[in-house]
Amino acid sequence: MEHEHPDPVGARRRRRVLITGAGGQLGQALAEAFADEEVTALTRADWDVTLPPCDDLVRAGFQLVLHAAAWTDVDGAEADPQGAAAVNIAGTAHAASLGAPLVAFSTDYVFDGRKREPYLESDAASPLSAYGRTKLHAEAAAGERAWIVRSSWLFGPTGHNFLRTMLRLGEERDEVAVVDDQRGCPTYVGHLATATRRLVDAGLPFGVWHLAAGGECTWAEFAEAIFAEAGLACRVRRISSAELGRPAPRPAYSVLRSERPGAPVLPHWREGLRACLEALGE
């Protein structure tokens, strides 16, 4: 606000909000989107969510929990499914045990990718990977007082993500090989955090919500757009998932759209790309 006025009533209405995984790219974006609330932002060092919350957290009386802590190493989950489950499933149950309304973030990887039109909330989940299975079980662990926000291909100006990797490789190489047989919605964490705030503030019903960027593309098309927007001359060599040979299978098609009334609509992924590059420039 440009002008601040004493407003004790408004001050009393500030929600006590807990953010888990606050050190990650989504957690940081959520902290910005909810900055006018009474936010407690905890990194993994502050609370390892594989462990139950301490008494201080239980007594804090949070009115909203934004659960962004997660095991996000898709290939690593194939090698250590129990470790991924401890973070994603038990961690979500521990966040839910605080008793406050919960936003639990899930993924397009709960689907098998056999569909060739956008996945809706009513579509049956069928994950291909250990990571996808842990995230699907985490949705159940969130309980009945939870918004389950499924999104996809997250990127932002901080943390480890595809955009930052492409920018680094684009500076170092003349050509990069990128898969061209997986199609989804690259989603800017800033836009997802804003949409999450709208979802919560509107008092929309608990349950599953698909919140992902508008438009769709392959990873190779996303890489080409990154290089074009960033002014990098690096070429993209399009390859198949089989050529890349990753341990965890990925859905070939995982575009997410919402069929639910009032669902927040996110900007096109290209707008997210430009907003992210602008944030990186700052």
Is the CATH code 3.90.700.10 the one for domain 8-160+187-215+254-267?
Answer: no
Give me 198's structure tokens.
């709208």
pLDDT at 9 over 70: no
CB 233 within 8 A of CB 180: no
Q: Which amino acid is at 236?
A: V
Mean pLDDT of 113-118: 95
CB 26 within 8 A of CB 66: no
List pLDDT tens digits, range 94-111.
999 999 999 999 999 999
* Residues classed as catalytic: 131
Q: Which residues contact 100 (CB under 8 A, 6 or more apart)?
A: 18, 62, 63, 64, 65, 145
pLDDT at 131 over 60: yes
Domain ranges within the chain, ordered by starting residue: 8-160+187-215+254-267
Give me 187's structure tokens.
């989603």
Provide the pLDDT for residue 2: 47
List pLDDT tens digits, range 21-70.
999 999 999 999 999 999 999 999 999 999 999 999 999 999 999 999 99
How many CB atoms within 10 Å of residue 264? 20
CB 24 within 8 A of CB 38: no
Q: Strands, DSSP E only, in 166-270?
A: 175-179, 183-184, 187-188, 207-210, 217-218, 235-239
List pLDDT tens digits, range 168-200.
999 999 999 999 999 999 999 999 999 999 999
Q: Which residues contact 43 (CB under 8 A, 6 or more apart)?
A: 21, 22, 23, 27
